[in-house]
Amino acid sequence: MPLLGIITADARVVLNAIRNLRDAVHGGAGMRDAYLAVGRTYMRFIRGRFIGASGGDGTWQPLSPYTIADRLRGGFGESSRVLYSAFNAQHHLGGAFGAQNKPPPAAAVLPILIRSGRLYGSLIEGGEGHIEELLPDGIRKGTGIFYAAFHQAGGGRLPQREILVPPDADTDAQIGRIFIAGLTSSALGTSTALAVAA
């Protein structure tokens, strides 16, 4: 005959623990810090992806011959290359075009989606058009540059070149660690745990 034990819990204790966890998630200083750290981590991923895609890594469709000719006629050829090189150096991706010092493919005469630097600049905290809104249960990050939405969705003759995408597995894991640290620090009433996670 099996031996069984009965375990009971005071519902008030359980409900109080659930309330404390809810309050930690929605109002704790540690979660505020975590949301900000998650936003920074995500945007760092987006900027690195943008630079790789701009350099012709195959993420985005290459520029059309018409667009290349138009940029060169408009005098944007060299300025686009200079801006791209500066952004690339900022992210330590190496090379004048793309990651790991790879030269651009023949079709990528000019960087993609870098003409004035305004769109990329809006992906940097404090940049013109950068959006950062701290929410009670998260953070909203992105760009307010009006033409970004056209590139994000594509349509007609404009190819889709997604700027904001879900994070890759490494970034997602890092974000998970930040959330765990935020919950822990909120529950403890500190914000020091995030120094390790971010």
How confident is the model over 110-169, as pLDDT tens digits?
Answer: 788 888 889 999 999 999 999 999 988 889 999 999 999 999 999 998 999 999 999 999
Angle at CA of residue 58, ends 55 and 59, nearest 5° = 90
Task: Tell me, yes or no, whether 22 lies in a domain.
Answer: no
Cβ neighbours, 10 Å, residue 97:
25
Cβ neighbours, 10 Å, residue 45:
19
* Cα(47)–Cα(18) distance, integer angstroms: 38
Domain that holds residue 66: 29-197
pTM of the predicted protein model: 0.75
Task: Tell me, yes or no, whether 68 lies in a domain.
Answer: yes
Helix (H, G, I), strand (E, B) or coil at 139: strand
| N- to C-terminal Cα separation, the chain | 53
121/22: higher pLDDT = 121
Task: Tell me, yes or no, whether 42 lies in a domain.
Answer: yes
